[in-house]
């Protein structure tokens, strides 16, 4: 059974001063009036671009200034028969399969640890949140200075007697993608942990105390109490990170590797950007964008299904 909470204020109002439908209607229209700019904005700048993406995916458009012609399903056929698209899809899948579970699990553990208020937990929160306060280009500069051939990481390896292990981390086909994923993780774990800690902090302490009396240790409290109680919220955070990795990680790729070496770090979101703004193939780009959109939608539904509240 579900409760329709939207009815509660109306009932409260009825009990307090009797039925006053005209005033409620006036208030409703006022609220609607206030929402009009936001709705117009939403339609213009969210629904509009989405419709444009579907339209452009059906045209042949070799550059923003070039004339365009209707291509039907031609762009989709090109995209689906392009080995580069499938390579990019594989890279995106690897990114998601590695980064998302690692990030959410570690962030959840860290978030739980923060709720225990260990010594210095306030400083720890700030430290964990720091990557979110650094601009993307500054983060890329940091990553480059660490991972460049003459960078900090190779310097540490060399001074630790591991000089033979040094390499051009961002320009090696064996390590470039791993570096991008590591940066995604560094970027997201702390921020996600702070978000999760905010929710975990609201779990009633009595529940933990009761579990402790029953002999449950931290590990069991974490996975048998904290996780089930916050499962819905973990789902939301997972969706947000899924969207960022799937749609937004072109940013790190662009700043650090430009999709290279070769195409070793060209994921789907970078492919969409690169085809549109660098290679001037807008039809291909938006056809890939539509496929990305549909895959994103399916991914969100899957996450929602797996992590929905089940009590």
Partner 1 sequence: MRRRVMLAGTISAILAPALSGCGALDPGDDDPETLVFHHSLTAGSASFAVYDAVRAEFERENPGARVKDLVSGGTDLINVYETARLAGKEADVVLVNLAEKSLSWTDYDATVPVGGYLERWGLRDRVLPQALPEWTDAEGRLVGFPWSGFSWPVAFNTRLLEAAGVSGVPRTAAQLVDAADRVRARGARGLVSIGGNDWSGQKLLMQIMQAHLPPERARRLFAEAGFASDAQALRGLEHFVELRDAGVFFDGAQGINADSMNSDFYTGQAAVVSMISGSLASVPPEVADVVELGGWPVPAGGVYDKPTALRGYTSAGLWISPNGEEKIDLVERFIRHLYREATAQRFVREAGEVLALRGPAESPDFPLVAAAVNLPESAVSYAVLPDLHVPPAVSQPLIRATSLAFTPGRDAQSIAADLDTAYRS
Q: Footprint of partner 1 on this chain (CB under 8 A)?
A: 26, 30, 33-34, 36-37, 40-41, 63-67, 84, 147-150, 154, 166-173, 258-263, 274, 277-281
Dihedral (C-alpha) 296, 299, 301, 304: value to the nearest 10 degrees? -120
DSSP-derived secondary structure letter, 281: -
**Based on CB atoms, which residue is closest to partner 1, 150 or 209?**
150
Our CB check for partner 1 shows the closer of 1 and 34 to be 34
Compare residues 196 and 272 and give the one whose CB is closer to partner 1. 272
Please report how close the Cβ of residue 185 comes to partner 1 at its closest, in angstroms.
Answer: 21
CA dist 167 and 147 (Å) reads 9
Taking the least distance from each CB to partner 1, the nearer of 87 and 232 is: 87
Q: What 3-state class would DSSP assign to 174? A: coil
Minimum Å gap between C-beta 274 and partner 1 is 7
Cis peptide before 301 (omega within 30 of 0): no
Least spacing, CB of residue 291 vs partner 1, in Å: 18
Q: Shortest approach of partner 1 to residue 280 CB, angstroms?
A: 6
Query: Least CB distance from residue 143 to partner 1, whole Å?
Result: 12
> What is the per-residue DSSP string for 212-242?
HHTT--HHHIIIIIIHHHHHHHHHHHHHHHH
The DSSP annotation for 51-118 comes to HHHHHHTTEE-SSTTS--EE-TTHHHHHHHT-HHHHHHHHHHHHHHHHHHHHHHHHHHHHHHHHHT--
Q: How far is the CB of 37 from partner 1 (least distance, A)?
A: 5
- Contact between 267 and 92 under an 8 Å Cβ cutoff? The reply is yes
Nearer to partner 1, 139 or 275 (CB): 275
Nearest residue (CB) to partner 1, 59 versus 236:
59
The answer to whether 125 and 190 have CB atoms below 8 angstroms apart is no
């Amino acid at each position: 059974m579900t409760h329709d909470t939207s009815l509660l204020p109306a009932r409260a109002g009825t009990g307090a001063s009797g039925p006053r439908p005209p005033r409620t209607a006036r208030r409703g229209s006022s609220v609607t009036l206030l929402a009009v700019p936001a709705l117009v904005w939403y339609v213009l700048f969210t629904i509009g671009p989405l419709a444009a993406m579907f339209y452009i995916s059906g045209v042949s458009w070799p550059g923003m200034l070039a004339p365009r012609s209707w291509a039907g399903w031609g762009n989709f056929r090109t995209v689906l028969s392009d080995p580069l698209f499938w390579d990019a899809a594989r890279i995106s899948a690897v990114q998601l399969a590695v980064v998302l579970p690692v990030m959410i699990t570690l962030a959840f553990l860290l978030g739980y640890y923060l709720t225990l208020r260990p010594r210095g937990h306030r400083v720890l929160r700030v430290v964990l949140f720091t990557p979110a306060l650094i601009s993307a280009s500054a983060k890329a500069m940091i990553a480059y200075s660490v991972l460049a051939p003459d960078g900090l990481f190779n310097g540490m390896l060399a001074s630790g007697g591991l000089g033979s292990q040094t390499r051009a981390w961002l320009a090696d086909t064996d390590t470039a993608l791993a570096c991008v994923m590591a940066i995604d993780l560094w970027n997201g774990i702390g921020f996600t942990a702070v978000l999760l800690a905010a929710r975990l902090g609201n779990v009633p302490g009595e529940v933990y105390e009761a579990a402790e009396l029953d002999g449950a240790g931290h590990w069991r409290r974490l996975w048998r109490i904290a996780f089930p109680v916050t499962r819905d919220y973990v789902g939301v955070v997972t969706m947000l990170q899924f969207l960022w990795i799937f749609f937004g990680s072109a940013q790190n790729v662009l700043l650090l590797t430009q999709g290279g070496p070769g195409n070793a770090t060209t994921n789907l979101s970078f492919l969409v950007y690169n085809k549109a703004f660098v290679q001037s193939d807008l039809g291909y780009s938006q056809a890939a964008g539509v496929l990305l959109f549909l895959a994103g939608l399916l991914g969100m539904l899957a996450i929602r299904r797996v992590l929905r509240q089940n009590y």
